[in-house]
């Protein structure tokens, strides 16, 4: 075999290797796309919306079919973190509310919930989650499980009042908590941010 033939064989081998690698990369991308589409569909069925952009945002925030059940607890977590730390009373109350929603201990949703109660999520996480919740409240097809935004704001108020005093009684809501509550109220209820102040005066 001549040097020229050897070179041609080597060149052909490299070309085949290159195209095989590209083919494998293409197959991997197709599988990844199919898996993502399957996950998005499952997430959409769980939350009751079909908007792909919203579902992708949810996925980017760390939600899955197994954990999206705690989406509506995110505003409560945001209130708990308003003062810079989550008290044991706030954690216990949020976990009690989670249990009432059928979230069992050691489930993926419970593990994720307690992770967010241990390590403070980013401001962007809270803001994006709140906008998504507002969208879901308006567009969900799961009417039987549709949340009442007023109830969500009420739960947030309970979290804000959970620390201090005897069993939480007598705790004065801080300015930071008040500010977070007003933003949540304004977003979820589409009302004046001072709504929370008037609600508190009636408590």
Q: What is the pLDDT of residues 83-131, one digit of tens each?
A: 999 999 999 999 999 999 999 999 999 999 999 999 999 999 999 999 9
Which pTM value belongs to this model? 0.75
Q: Contact 150/44 with Cβ under 8 angstroms?
A: no
DSSP code, position 203: -
41-64, pLDDT tens digit by residue? 999 999 889 899 999 999 999 999
Report for 36-45, 70-79, 170-179: range of highest mean pLDDT? 70-79
Cα separation, 41 vs 119, whole angstroms? 29
Domain residue extents for the chain: 65-201
Q: What is the mean pLDDT of the chain?
A: 82
Share of the chain above pLDDT 70, in %: 77
What's the CA angle centered on 187, arms 183 and 193, to 5 degrees?
45
Least confident of 14-18, 101-105, 186-190: 14-18
Quote the pLDDT of residue 4.
63
Residue 34 and residue 141: Cα distance in Å, rounded? 24
Instruction: Look at residue 39 in the predicted model and tell me its pLDDT.
Output: 79
Q: What is the pLDDT of residue 76?
A: 97
Q: Which residue has the higher pLDDT, 15 or 41?
A: 41
């Amino acid at each position: 075999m001549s040097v020229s033939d050897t070179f041609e064989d080597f060149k052909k081998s490299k070309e085949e290797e290159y195209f095989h690698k590209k083919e494998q990369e293409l197959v991997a991308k197709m599988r990844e796309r199919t898996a993502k589409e399957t996950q998005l569909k499952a997430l959409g069925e769980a939350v009751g919306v079909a908007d792909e952009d919203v579902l992708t945002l949810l996925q980017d925030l760390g939600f899955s079919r197994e954990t999206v059940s705690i989406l509506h607890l995110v505003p409560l977590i945001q209130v708990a973190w308003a003062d810079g730390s989550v008290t044991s009373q706030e954690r216990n109350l949020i976990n009690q509310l989670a249990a009432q929603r059928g979230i069992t201990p050691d489930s993926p949703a419970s593990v994720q919930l307690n992770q967010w109660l241990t390590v403070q999520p980013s401001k962007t996480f809270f803001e994006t989650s709140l906008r998504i919740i507002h969208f879901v409240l308006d567009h969900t097809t799961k009417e039987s499980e549709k949340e009442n935004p007023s109830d969500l704001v009420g739960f947030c108020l309970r979290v804000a009042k959970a620390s201090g005093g005897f069993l939480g009684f007598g705790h004065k809501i801080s300015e930071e908590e008040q500010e977070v509550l007003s933003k949540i109220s304004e977003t979820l209820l589409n009302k004046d941010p001072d709504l929370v102040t008037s609600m508190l005066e009636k408590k």
